[in-house]
Chains A and B, each alone.
Chain A
């Protein structure tokens, strides 16, 4: 059968589009997926697999030291119980950042989708994406200038109340959350915006004409209908925030110790790649467990 196909194809020559018989569907599917999966294998799967192997080693393989495999790296949370506190802090920061992003992002997306048209909407979208155009480090360092004592925030505050004390809150967890919200808000706005623009205006007009107040429309119609956007936005925010290390380090000062900074230290300072890798995989397992627990809610949300 395949041979027949080949001969006829060569007889017809390559440039006869009309009588070409369709290839079996799996061929085209494979051909279309190959570049993506090939790239994923190369760029994601292989490095991740290397790290997984590293996480079972006793020490970073270097020089002539013999490679010893061990499970002790995965006991880190038992041997060093203070890591549990750090992990809890990271999850808490992740939760508050995601929550703030969800509230602010959803409202901004509603404003974007429902109250603006044409040029204004395009301009606003560009303004929302603007933070992405600057380097993350630059954004974080600009926040330090705003939030520190006698920074911009204090200066403005003292214009109103000259005798009041400082309201600068650099080197606190609030500062870390502010920096993270700034960094990840665009994801949330975009996913919510995409979900919101698909809602038919007629539904809202119908609700309004039946006497629904704005909060009824918001919580009974907009939020449930845009839930898929909210959820994907939350996932896109929560996961990188838990592993973030730059924002806590620069904005957190003394309190900026999270799983992200611990893992970074293991790779850059302590040169203990196995421990860094095992902590990363433990964190990944925790995140998967959290999403697994809430997967029922998520599925209902996306189905709505």
Chain B
């Protein structure tokens, strides 16, 4: 904790005061210097009461929240309320969209000392970058990959989904983007921009004899897995940890050689943020091992982008075992899809489902 010294804090606070004074000259822009507004999903890490209290004691910055209930709502709020938010939690795919619309400002990573240990693969993800500058601090990540019943042979490729050994024992995630991505990885293509949709269609159709059900909620997955309806499935990394920890299900999460189908949430600063300094301090706090350890062990959290934070978890922590840093090397990250490609993915999956149902 050398980075948050009193001097640094004072520097930061005086910076905030100056910025505040500059802004308070404008009408209808009343805010206190030591205050930041965070835009996030409700109950997603940033609004834990104990953490906000500790952060305020440490830095004197008060954190208030506004919430969104869908990603499109988040973008709308950024577009229509300039100057209202200092920090926004957004998915990598949405980050690319927001930077394209000039809604975010580049991050001054020198003010986020914890970012030094952020995994390079996450930090250099194209979705966070524009003109070589980072527009969001990678925060937490997770992935969709294979889950298999304990004791069965560990698969090394997504091609196992079509293996006749699993006849009638496979469950698929009823999500067009995920399934098309799995099909792309089965056929050796880029999951975000596959060139040969026909091959993906054939690969997914070839799974038909194995497919027992399509799941759409984690609860449904748990119930069916507990009832031994299937042995192999596309599943979420975080979901597998919860199934194992809360429901004691004998599930093993496997990332085959093609890599996981990953997602990353980042912390962005709106272009119009009144208190960017305070927001950077809070972003630094959110990837800090101290905060993360408490969040992950007491509340439950996705994997931190900060390797140091992830390594601070106890060695027997299930989340740490599932989210191994080496997976980040092979993991593809879901990018923003243009409308026509998204529509093509959805139509493809709909066609495959109709084929399954025949």
Q: Which residues of B contact A80 (CB under 8 A)?
A: 347, 350-351
| Cα-based distance from A253 to B208 in the complex (angstroms) | 12
**Interface-side segment among B16-24, B82-90, B209-217, B253-261:** B209-217
Binary interface encoding of chain B residues 58-102 relative to chain A, with 1 for a CB under 8 A from any of its CBs, else 0:
000000000000001001100100000000000000000000000
**Interface-side segment among A46-54, A82-90, A127-135, A285-293:** A82-90
25 pairs across A/B with beta carbons < 8 Å?
A59-B339, A62-B72, A80-B347, A82-B351, A83-B350, A85-B354, A148-B227, A148-B229, A149-B229, A150-B227, A170-B229, A171-B212, A171-B213, A249-B216, A253-B214, A254-B211, A254-B212, A254-B357, A256-B214, A256-B357, A257-B357, A266-B346, A269-B346, A270-B343, A270-B346
Q: Which of A82, A149, A171, A272 contacts B346 (CB 8 A)?
A: A272
Contact B79 A272 (CB under 8 A): no
Contact A85 B350 (CB under 8 A): no
Q: B97: nearest residue on chain A (CB-CB)?
A: A63
Q: Which residues of A contact B354 (CB under 8 A)?
A: 82-83, 85-86, 257
Binary interface encoding of chain B residues 274-304 relative to chain A, with 1 for a CB under 8 A from any of its CBs, else 0:
0000000000000000000000000000000
Task: Determine how close the nearest CB of chain A comes to the CB of B233; give it in whole angstroms.
Answer: 13
Q: Which residues of B contact A269 (CB under 8 A)?
A: 175-176, 346
Binary interface encoding of chain A residues 242-279 relative to chain B, with 1 for a CB under 8 A from any of its CBs, else 0:
00000001101111110000100110011010000000
A63-B75, A253-B212, A270-B346 known, 4 other contacts, Cβ within 8 Å:
A64-B79, A252-B357, A257-B354, A272-B346
Q: Which residues of B contact A170 (CB under 8 A)?
A: 229
Known: A80-B351, A148-B229, A249-B216. A254 touches B343 (CB 8 A): no
| Cα-based distance from A63 to B353 in the complex (angstroms) | 31
| Cα-based distance from A244 to B302 in the complex (angstroms) | 35
Task: Determine how close the nearest CB of chain A comes to the CB of B7; give it in whole angstroms.
Answer: 44
Mark B residues whose CB is within 8 Å of A: 72, 75-76, 79, 175-176, 211-214, 216, 220, 223, 227-229, 339, 342-343, 346-347, 350-351, 353-358
- The contact size tier of chain A is 20 to 34
Task: Determine how close the nearest CB of chain B comes to the CB of A210; give it in whole angstroms.
Answer: 52
Among A63, A250, A254, max chain B CB count under 10 A is at A254
Task: Determine how close the nearest CB of chain A comes to the CB of B171; give it in whole angstroms.
Answer: 9
Q: Which of B176, B227, B358 contacts A270 (CB 8 A)?
A: B176
Known: A62-B72, A254-B213. A265 touches B356 (CB 8 A): no
| Cα-based distance from A151 to B339 in the complex (angstroms) | 44
Among B72, B347, B351, max chain A CB count under 10 A is at B347
Q: Which residues of A contact B353 (CB under 8 A)?
A: 257
Q: Which residues of A contact B343 (CB under 8 A)?
A: 270, 272
Known: A148-B227, A148-B229, A150-B227. A254 touches B346 (CB 8 A): no
| Cα-based distance from A89 to B176 in the complex (angstroms) | 21
Contact A270 B342 (CB under 8 A): yes
Known: A249-B216, A253-B214, A257-B354. A63 touches B79 (CB 8 A): yes
Q: A62: nearest residue on chain B (CB-CB)?
A: B72
